[in-house]
Amino acid sequence: MANSHLQGGAPFSRIVGTGRFLPGEPVTNDALAQRLAGHGVETSDAWIQERTGITQRYLASAEVSCSDLAVNAARIAMADAGIGADQIDMILVATSTPDMIFPSTACLVQKKLGITQGAAFDVQAVCSGFVYALATADLFIRAGKARNALVIGAEVFSRILDWNDRGTCVLFGDGAGAVVLRASQTPGVLAHRLHARGEYEGILRTPGQISHGNATGHPFLTMDGQAVFKLAVQVLESSAREVLSDAQMQPDQVDWLIPHQANVRILQFTAKRLGLPLSKLVVTVDQHGNTSAASVPMALDVARRDGRVQPGHHVLLQGVGGGFTWGAALVRM
Known catalytic membership, residue 148: no
Residue 3 has pLDDT above 90, yes or no: no
Q: 295-305 and 66-81 are packed helices; what angle lies between their axes, rounded to 10 degrees?
A: 40
Provide φ and ψ at 273, rounded to 5°.
-65, -30
Residue 2 has pLDDT above 70, yes or no: no
Strand partners, 192: 329
Domains and CATH numbers, the chain: 4-184 (3.40.47.10), 189-332 (3.40.47.10)
Q: What does the pLDDT read at residue 215?
A: 86
Beta strands in 201-297 (DSSP E): 204-205, 209-211, 214-216, 222-223, 256-258
Residues 92-99 have a mean pLDDT of 98
Known catalytic membership, residue 3: no
Provide φ and ψ at 111, rounded to 5°.
-60, -50
Cβ contacts of 304 within 8 Å, gap of 6 or more? 18, 333
Q: Report d(CA 140, CA 117) in Å as an integer.
A: 15
Q: Report d(CA 223, CA 32) in Å as an integer.
A: 20
Q: pLDDT by residue (tens digit) across 171-199?
A: 999 999 999 999 999 999 999 999 999 99
Residues 118-145 have a mean pLDDT of 98
Helix (H, G, I), strand (E, B) or coil at 271: helix
Q: Report d(CA 289, CA 55) in Å as an integer.
A: 8
Q: What does the pLDDT read at residue 5?
A: 42
Q: What does the pLDDT read at residue 8?
A: 54
| Annotated catalytic residue within 148, 192, 290, 314 | 290
How would residue 10 be classed by pLDDT, with cut points 50, 70 and 90? confident
Do 292 and 81 form a contact (C-beta atoms < 8 A)? no
| Annotated catalytic residue within 72, 127, 148, 192 | 127
Output the DSSP codes for 100-169. Answer: SSSS-HHHHHHHHHT--SSEEEEE--GGGHHHHHHHHHHHHHHTTS-SEEEEEEEEEGGGG--TT-HHHH
219-223 long-range contacts, Cβ below 8 Å, gap at least 24? 219/160, 220/160, 220/161, 220/162, 220/165, 220/168, 221/157, 221/160, 221/161, 221/162, 221/168, 221/172, 222/162, 222/168, 223/167, 223/168
Q: What does the pLDDT read at residue 9?
A: 60
Closest CA to 221 of 239, 208, 238: 208
* Cβ neighbours of 7 (radius 10 Å): 9
How much is the pTM? 0.96
Q: pLDDT by residue (tens digit) across 13-66?
A: 999 999 999 999 999 999 999 999 988 999 999 999 999 999 999 999 999 999
| Annotated catalytic residue within 192, 260, 288, 314 | 260
- The CA-to-CA distance between both ends of the chain, in Å, stands at 29
Known catalytic membership, residue 314: no
Q: Report d(CA 235, CA 240) in Å as an integer.
A: 8
Burial label for 211, CB within 10 Å (0-12, 13-18, 19+), is exposed
- Give, as one character, the DSSP assignment of residue 221: -
**224-258 as b/e, with b when 16 or more CB fall inside 10 Å?**
eeeebbebbbebbbebbbbbbeebebebeebbbbb
Residues 244-254 have a mean pLDDT of 98
